[in-house]
Amino acid sequence: MHFTTLLPHLLALLAVPARAQSSGTGPYPAKYTTSTTLPKHTIYLPSTLPFNQSLPVIAWGNGGCMGRGLTFSNFLTEIASYGFMIVANGAPDGRLFPQTTAAMLTATLDWAEEASGEGGEYQGRLDTGSMAVAGQSCGGLEAINVGNDTRVRTVGVFNSGLLDMEKKDLLDRIRVPVYYFLGGSGDIAYPNGERDYADLPAGLPAWKANFDVGHMGTYSEANGGEFGKAAVAYFKWALKGDTAAKALLIGNPPGLAAAGWDVVYKNMA
């Protein structure tokens, strides 16, 4: 898989006719915003922060390592509406940092700890004990690169997998559950993700599902489509311990199977 060959697909994602921006289907209508203390990122969160809970934090890398924070806005707004803060690499218009790096995910984790601390702009409102790194395509590689950060509770890999198996040590260093969301055999990253899942360290909790729509998933659909629904279930279970969400991911059969997802998992007892 060469990400230069994905450029037409990423441009097509950006060219999808704009829908009326939804605030998500969750209990906390969401929006995007920015922070002067993290100017190269875009922040998705509930428009009104819930007072009865702090928000888990998800550091997100865009497909193509693109520095436009609104590229996955439908998808990320949907997740935020269920009581999460998602910080996407790249400012909304993408002009400040057109190409992103894995270090920008680490910067999000650093910022969240500072912002939720005493005197921070989100003091006491973020659950920095429940943080994840995730991303699509090239952004998924960014997530794998920082998956060994001790502050991370889970790694989400969407339509992605290692390009170079000489870097398999990146997988070997991960010590938290890893979830792969792939687009079936028509997904250019399908063989990479399938191989990574098989090559994860023995005993590591891991989950993998395919939804046969190809590399660009359903991210541009209203509320992120089926990938949005699956991602909400994932983060609710992995970061909030929601047992109803767990039943969608892990079961006999998992609830997501009814929607057409092909789900396998290991070491998830």
Helix axes 103-116, 138-145, angle to 10 degrees: 60
Spatial distance between the Cα atoms of 79 and 231, rounded to a whole number of angstroms: 7
Can you give the pLDDT at residue 224?
Answer: 98
Phi (first) and psi of residue 152, to 5 degrees: -90, 135
Instruction: Label residue 169 exposed, middle or buried (CB < 10 Å: 0-12, 13-18, 19+).
Output: exposed
> Which residues in 71-139 belong to E strands, given as ranges?
85-89, 126-136
Q: CA 83 to CA 28: how far, in whole Å? A: 6
**Burial class for 222, CB neighbours closer than 10 Å (0-12, 13-18, 19+):** middle
- Judged by DSSP in three states, 11 sits in helix
- Provide the token pair at 203: 């005993």
Residue 97: the pLDDT is: 59
- Four-residue CA torsion sign, 219, 187, 174, 67: negative
| Cβ neighbour number for residue 34 with a 10 Å cutoff | 14
Q: What confidence score (pLDDT) does residue 123 get?
A: 96
Residue ranges of the chain with per-residue pLDDT less than 70:
1-21, 95-97, 166
For the stretch 171-186, pLDDT in tens is: 999 999 999 999 999 9
Write the pLDDT tens digit of every residue in 29-50: 999 999 999 999 999 999 999 9
What are the respective helix, strand and coil percentages of the chain, to the nearest 5?
35, 20, 45
Set out the domains of the chain in order of their start, with CATH numbers.
3-266 (3.40.50.1820)
Contacts of residue 120, Cβ cutoff 8 Å, sequence gap at least 6: 114
Residue with tokens 């939720």: 116
**pLDDT score, position 258:** 97
| Pairing between β-strand 126-136 and β-strand 152-158 as defined by DSSP bridges | parallel
Query: Could you report how far apart the first and last alpha carbons of the chain are, in Å?
Result: 33
Question: Do the beta carbons of residue 211 and residue 231 sit within 8 Å?
Answer: no
pLDDT in the model for residue 51 = 86
